[in-house]
Amino acid sequence: MKDVLKSFIFAELIYHEDPATFGDEDNLLDAGLDSMGIMRLIMFAEKEFGVTLPDTEIEPDNVGSLKSLESWIRRSGYTG
């Protein structure tokens, strides 16, 4: 799942010279993920993984890194 998220993030939302070096726990917000990017990322994740990510849970602890994002998606009902 992290690879799919990572591909989308670096193809559409954030530029990184070498995405392969971006770690699962590196900070996406510091890397440049902005408010519109977060919304687009959430919409992508909901569609791709068939879950609903509650608005009330959109916070740095859940979207701050690939690892936290994956964990949030799994907690929200993804079983794949």
Partner 1 sequence: MTDSKEQLFNPGDYFTYVLDQEIRNAGMPGGYCGFALQLAETPDLSGLQKRLNLLVERFPQASANIEPRGKRFAWVATGNPILLELHQCQPDANEADETQRLLLDIFNRQESRPLTVHWIAGADGGTVLLIWLHPLLDARGCKILLDFLSTERPESFKDSPSLIEAKLAQWSFWKKLQLFFKAKRHNTAANSLDSCLPTQVEQGPQHLQLKVQRFDAEQSQRIAKLAQQYTGLTGRTLYYLGCFMRAMELVGPPAAKDGYCIPYAFNLRRQNAPTPVFGNHIGCLFARATRQQVRDRTGLFAHLLSEHKQVVRDELDLAYLPLMWLGQWLSPDKYAKVLRKQHSGGELSSLWFSDIGELSWGKTGFLGVPVTDLSLMCWMTLPPGLALLACQHNGKLVLSYSYLSPAIDEAWLEAVMARMNVELLETAES
4 binds partner 1 (CB under 8 A): no
DSSP string, 40-72: HHHHHHHHHHT----GGG-SHHHHSSHHHHHHH
Q: In angstroms, how far apart are the furthest CA atoms of the chain?
A: 33
Among 2, 4, 7, 12, binds partner 1 (CB under 8 A): 12
Report the site for partner 1 in 20-79 (rule: CB under 8 A).
31-40, 43, 55, 58-60, 63
Q: How far is the CB of 72 from partner 1 (least distance, A)?
A: 13
**Tokens coding 27:** 């900070």
- Tokens 């990184």 correspond to 16
| Residues lying near partner 1 in the complex (CB under 8 A) | 10, 12-16, 31-40, 43, 55, 58-60, 63
